[in-house]
C-alpha cells in the first residue's frame, strides 16, 4: 500500500453515468477522482465490442441532454447506433469536457470501507492504491458483470472462448471456423447474423427462444436530423415525462381487449413495422394482463413463423413466455439466418449442454466440433457489479451481506447504514427499464442537488432511513407485481444467476412517476434521509 490519495468524491466507473457525475462534481468544486477498470471511457460500450453490438434506443434519444451545444454538434449516422459510434461519442464527450484528467484508467476498485471516526470512505484498488473520500458514488452500470456459466471440461477446450460482454479489442476472424454461440438473448440476436456470414459452420445453442422484431435500422437523413435538433429541447422534455424515457414511444390509451380483431391487427402491424421495442406499449395492458399479452404474443409468434422458411426450425424459435416480460430484442435478419445452410439451431432445453471437450461441446445426445465458443450468456445484472466490490459500513457489514436476500435501497440511490454512498441507476430505480441516459441524468442531477443542499445546510453526512428503505422495497415489489414482469424468469428478477435471490431489481413504475417521487422527497426536505 503506497500513498493515500485524498478526494472529496470518488466515482467508480467511467461510463456515461460516471462521466456526467464527474462533470457535475467539478462544477460543484469537489475534488473528484473517477476510477475505471477499462483503459478508456464508455463502460458498457467499451466492453461489449461483439460484432453487431448496437443500441435498441434511437440515437437521437440515446445521448446526453445536459449540454445544448453538445447535442447540436454531435452527428449520429444511423437510427440505432452501433457500438463503435457510441464509444466514439463517449470519447468525444471525454475530450470536449476534458474529463480524462480526473479519470484513472486500468484501476479496478476492490473494496471500500466507511470510517465513522474520519467520516470518510477508504477505497482500495487492484493497483494497490488507497483513496480516501467523503463521498463514494457508484457508476458501475447495470449490465457490466458478465455471467459466464462454467461447464465440466471448461479448461480442456482447445479453441477460442469469447464472452460478448468482454469482447477483445482486436477484430476476431471467424472465417473458415466452426463456431458455437451459447445463448439467444439480445447480444446473441445481434451477433448471430454477422457470425453466420463469416463462419464455416455456426451452431446456436438455444435454451429459451426470445421475441425480436426487425430493427428497421437505417442511415439518418440529415434534413430530418436538423429538424429534430431544432426542437431537441421539446423532445428531451417529452422523454423525461414519458414512462420509459423515450419521446418517440407511443403513449397507449386503449386496452388490447376493448378493440376488435381488425383494429388490433392494424395496430400491431403498424407497431411491428415501426421497428422499435415500443411494440409492447401498443396497448396499455400488454405488460399487465395475460389475455391482452397473448394477443400481442400471438402476433409476434406469427411474424417469427413468417420469417423462417424451415418450418421445423421456425417452431423451435417461437417463444412461449408472455411477450415483453423479458427484454424485447431488435434484430437485423436474426430469424432468417436459421435458413442458411451453414447454421444449425440446437435446442439445449431438451438436449442440455453436458460439458466442453477438447474438440468442442457435448450435449446429452450429441457432440459438436468447434474452433470457437461465444458465450452470449448475459450478466449478473444490476446488483452483481455492486456486490462484486467489497463495500463495508462502519460496523464492517458488507453490502453483499446486507443484500443477501435481495437489494434494499431507498429510491435506488442509497442503502441505509452505508453513509455517503450514492448509487447511480442502483437497484430500485428505473435504470434498465427505461432509456438509461434519462435515468442517469436524473440520478446525477438529484445527487448534485442533494450535495448542494448539504453544503448549504452545513451537513457532511447523509444516510437513508431504514423505514423509508423498507417502504420503498414494498413499493418497488408492489408495482412490479401489478405487471407480468415479475413473473418471467428474466435477469430483471435475477433468475439467470444460480442462487441469486428472486427479487424484482428495477423500479417498474416508469421514469416520470419515479422522478416525481424523487422531487417530492426533495420538496419535503429530503424525507427518508438523515443528514448530520
Ligand atoms: P441475456 O438476455 O441474459 O441472454 C443470455 C442468454 O444466455 C439467454 O438466452 C440464456 O438462456 C442463455 N444462457 C445463460 N446461461 C446459459 C447456460 N448455462 N446454458 C445455455 N444457455 C444459457 O443476455 P444478453 O447479453 O443477450 O442481453 C443482456 C442485455 O444487454 C439485454 O437485455 C440488452 O439490454 C443488452 P435462458 O433465457 O436463461 O434460458
Per-residue pLDDT tens for 84-126?
999 999 999 999 999 999 999 999 999 999 999 999 999 999 9
Ligand 1 pocket member 187 (CB < 6 A): yes
Asked if residue 45 lies in contact with residue 83, where contact means CB atoms within 8 angstroms, the answer is yes
Going by the DSSP 8-state scheme, the letter that residue 338 receives in this structure is T
Average predicted confidence (pLDDT) for the chain? 97
Ligand 1 nearest atom to the CA of residue 496, by list position: 38
Per-residue pLDDT tens for 144-189?
999 999 999 999 999 999 999 999 999 999 999 999 999 999 999 9
Ligand 1 pocket member 491 (CB < 6 A): yes
**pLDDT band at 251, cuts 50/70/90?**
confident
What pTM does this model have? 0.98
C-alpha cell read off for 343: 447454421
Taking residue 313's Cβ as centre, other Cβ atoms within 10 Å add up to 16
Going by the DSSP 8-state scheme, the letter that residue 54 receives in this structure is B
Position 3 scores a pLDDT of 53
Q: H or E stretch including 456? A: helix 436-456
Of 187, 345, 363, 381, the one to substitute when testing ligand 1's pocket (max ligand atoms within 8 A of C-beta) is 187
pLDDT, average across residues 343-372? 98
Ligand 1 pocket member 148 (CB < 6 A): no
Taking residue 314's Cβ as centre, other Cβ atoms within 10 Å add up to 19
- Measured in Å, residue 406 CA sits from the centre of ligand 1 at 21
Whether the per-residue pLDDT at 2 is higher than 90: the answer is no
First to last CA, the chain: 32
Ligand 1 pocket member 348 (CB < 6 A): yes
Bridging pattern class, strands 103-104 and 421-423: unpaired
pLDDT, average across residues 22-31? 98
Of 209, 377, 505, the one to substitute when testing ligand 1's pocket (max ligand atoms within 8 A of C-beta) is 377
Ligand 1 nearest atom to the CA of residue 187, by list position: 26
- Looking up cell 429459451 gives 208
Whether the per-residue pLDDT at 1 is higher than 50: the answer is no
C-alpha cell read off for 404: 443477501
In Å, how far are 171, 189, 198 from 337, measured between CA atoms? 22, 10, 12
C-alpha cell read off for 97: 469536457
Distance CA 413, CA 405 (A): 19
pLDDT, average across residues 413-423? 98
Ligand 1 pocket member 164 (CB < 6 A): yes
Ligand 1 nearest atom to the CA of residue 164, by list position: 25
Ligand 1 pocket member 209 (CB < 6 A): no
Ligand 1 pocket member 149 (CB < 6 A): yes
Ligand 1 pocket member 185 (CB < 6 A): yes
C-alpha cell read off for 115: 470510517
Of 151, 326, 430, 496, the one to substitute when testing ligand 1's pocket (max ligand atoms within 8 A of C-beta) is 496
Amino acid at each position: 500500500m503506497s500513498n493515500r490519495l485524498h478526494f472529496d468524491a470518488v466515482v467508480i466507473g467511467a461510463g456515461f453515468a460516471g462521466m456526467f457525475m464527474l462533470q457535475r462534481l467539478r462544477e460543484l468544486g469537489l475534488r473528484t477522482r473517477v476510477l475505471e477498470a477499462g483503459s478508456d471511457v464508455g463502460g458498457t460500450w467499451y466492453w461489449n465490442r461483439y460484432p453487431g453490438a448496437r443500441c435498441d434506443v434511437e440515437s437521437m434519444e440515446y445521448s446526453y441532454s445536459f449540454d445544448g451545444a453538445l447535442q447540436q454538434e454531435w452527428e449520429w449516422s444511423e437510427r440505432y447506433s452501433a457500438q463503435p459510434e457510441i464509444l466514439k461519442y463517449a470519447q468525444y464527450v471525454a475530450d470536449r469536457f476534458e474529463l480524462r484528467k480526473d479519470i484513472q484508467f486500468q484501476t479496478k476498485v476492490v473494496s471500500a470501507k466507511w470510517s465513522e471516526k474520519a467520516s470518510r470512505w477508504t477505497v482500495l484498488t487492484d493497483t494497490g492504491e488507497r483513496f480516501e473520500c467523503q463521498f463514494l458514488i457508484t457508476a458501475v452500470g447495470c449490465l457490466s458483470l458478465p455471467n459466464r456459466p462454467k461447464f465440466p471440461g471448461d479448461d480442456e477446450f482447445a479453441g477460442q472462448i469469447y464472452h460478448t460482454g468482454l469482447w477483445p479489442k482486436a477484430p476476431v476472424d471467424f472465417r473458415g471456423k466452426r463456431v458455437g454461440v451459447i445463448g439467444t438473448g439480445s447480444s446473441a440476436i445481434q451477433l448471430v447474423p454477422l457470425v453466420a456470414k463469416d463462419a464455416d459452420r455456426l451452431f446456436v445453442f438455444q435454451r429459451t427462444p426470445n421475441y425480436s422484431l426487425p430493427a428497421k435500422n437505417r442511415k439518418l437523413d440529415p434534413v430530418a436530423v436538423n429538424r429534430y435538433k431544432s426542437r431537441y429541447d421539446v423532445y428531451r422534455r417529452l422523454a423525461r415525462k414519458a414512462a420509459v424515457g423515450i419521446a418517440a414511444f407511443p403513449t397507449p390509451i386503449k386496452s388490447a381487449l376493448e378493440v376488435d380483431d381488425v383494429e388490433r391487427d392494424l395496430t400491431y402491424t403498424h407497431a411491428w413495422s415501426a421497428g422499435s421495442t415500443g411494440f409492447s406499449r401498443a396497448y396499455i395492458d400488454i405488460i399487465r394482463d395475460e389475455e391482452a399479452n397473448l394477443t400481442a404474443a400471438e402476433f409476434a409468434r406469427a411474424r417469427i413463423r413468417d420469417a423462417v422458411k424451415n418450418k421445423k426450425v421456425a417452431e423451435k424459435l417461437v417463444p412461449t413466455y408472455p411477450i415483453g416480460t423479458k427484454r424485447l430484442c431488435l434484430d437485423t435478419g436474426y430469424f432468417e439466418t436459421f435458413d442458411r445452410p451453414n447454421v444449425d439451431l440446437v435446442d439445449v432445453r431438451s438436449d442440455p449442454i453436458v460439458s466442453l471437450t477438447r474438440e468442442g461441446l457435448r450435449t446429452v445426445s450429441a457432440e459438436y466440433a468447434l474452433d470457437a465458443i461465444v458465450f452470449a450468456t448475459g450478466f449478473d445484472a444490476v446488483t452483481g457489479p455492486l456486490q462484486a466490490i467489497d463495500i463495508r459500513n462502519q460496523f464492517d457489514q458488507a453490502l453483499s451481506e446486507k443484500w443477501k436476500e435481495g437489494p434494499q435501497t431507498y429510491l435506488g440511490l442509497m442503502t441505509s447504514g452505508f453513509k455517503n454512498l450514492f448509487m447511480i441507476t442502483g437497484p430500485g430505480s428505473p435504470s434498465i427499464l427505461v432509456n438509461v441516459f434519462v435515468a442517469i441524468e436524473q440520478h446525477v442531477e438529484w445527487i448534485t442537488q442533494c450535495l448542494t443542499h448539504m453544503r448549504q445546510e452545513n451537513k457532511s453526512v447523509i444516510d437513508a432511513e431504514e423505514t423509508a428503505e423498507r417502504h420503498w422495497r414494498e413499493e418497488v415489489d408492489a408495482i412490479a407485481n401489478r405487471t407480468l414482469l415479475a413473473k418471467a424468469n428474466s435477469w430483471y428478477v435475477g433468475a439467470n444467476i444460480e442462487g441469486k435471490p428472486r427479487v424484482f431489481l428495477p423500479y417498474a413504475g416508469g421514469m416520470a412517476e419515479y422522478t416525481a417521487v424523487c422531487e417530492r422527497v426533495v420538496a419535503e426536505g429530503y424525507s427518508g434521509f438523515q443528514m448530520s
